[in-house]
Chains A and B, each alone.
Chain A
Amino acid sequence: ILNVEQSPQSLHVQEGDSTNFTCSFPSSNFYALHWYRWETAKSPEALFVMTLNGDEKKKGRISATLNTKEGYSYLYIKGSQPEDSATYLCAFSRDSNYQLIWGAGTKLIIKP
């Protein structure tokens, strides 16, 4: 059974602080790792699709790193803002024809 684990389950962060959270996945047969942001009452939205070990991707104040050999990815948010409050989901694929396996998400709440 393939498992994708995300930690922590939830996180309260003061506005202006930086934060990070983790996605762990099986290190064998890696194909791709996705990060999505899901704000309340909105549609989940793709942040990054990562495919290479050592990959680093950035979108504004949000960045992600990937370590396929040890099976983890970090998502970083610099200078958190209230609009960053959302659930952050990661999803793992082991080959080109395999479905995405999703983590349960990290719920981030930014306190003003």
Chain B
Amino acid sequence: EAGVAQSPRYKIIEKRQSVAFWCNPISGHATLYWYQQILGQGPKLLIQFQNNGVVDDSQLPKDRFSAERLKGVDSTLKIQPAKLEDSAVYLCASSFGTGGRYEQYFGPGTRLTVT
């Protein structure tokens, strides 16, 4: 079974530039998550999709971050414009169902550095 794919693995941009991350979840997984993990902190949920609908985006900074999951499969997360504090690892995960008892499967993450 193929795992969760993410690209790129690393990205360095200057502040005020834009960046986009891509995620392909495990086939058949209805739920997709984007997390932001800042060094020394736990992952913070940015947005959760159930199929192509948003379940939770309460912690997504909507003035600069956007995400979509077209056709309920692949997803992209965009930052425009980036700030220095956006430097973090961005993790994508998927699970078979939604709710706290489902194990989440993670991609390798994208390490973003904003200079």
Contacts and interface: CB of A to CB of B under 8 A. Distances in A.
- The answer to whether A binds B is yes
Interface of A: 4, 31-32, 34, 36, 41-46, 49, 51, 89, 91, 93-105
The binding surface of chain B is classed by DSSP as loop
Contacts of B108: 41-43
| Interface bin, chain B | 20 to 34
Contact of B43 (A51, A95, A97, A102): A102
B103 interface: yes
Contacts of B48: 99
B109 to A, nearest CB: 7
A31 B100 contact: yes
Contacts of A32: 100-101
Contacts, number: 60
B53 interface: no
Contacts of B100: 31-32, 93-96, 98-100
Given A4-B42, A42-B108, A51-B101, A99 B3 contact: no
A95 B98 CA distance: 11
Nearest to B101: A32
B4 A102 contact: no
Nearest to A100: B100
Nearest to B105: A46
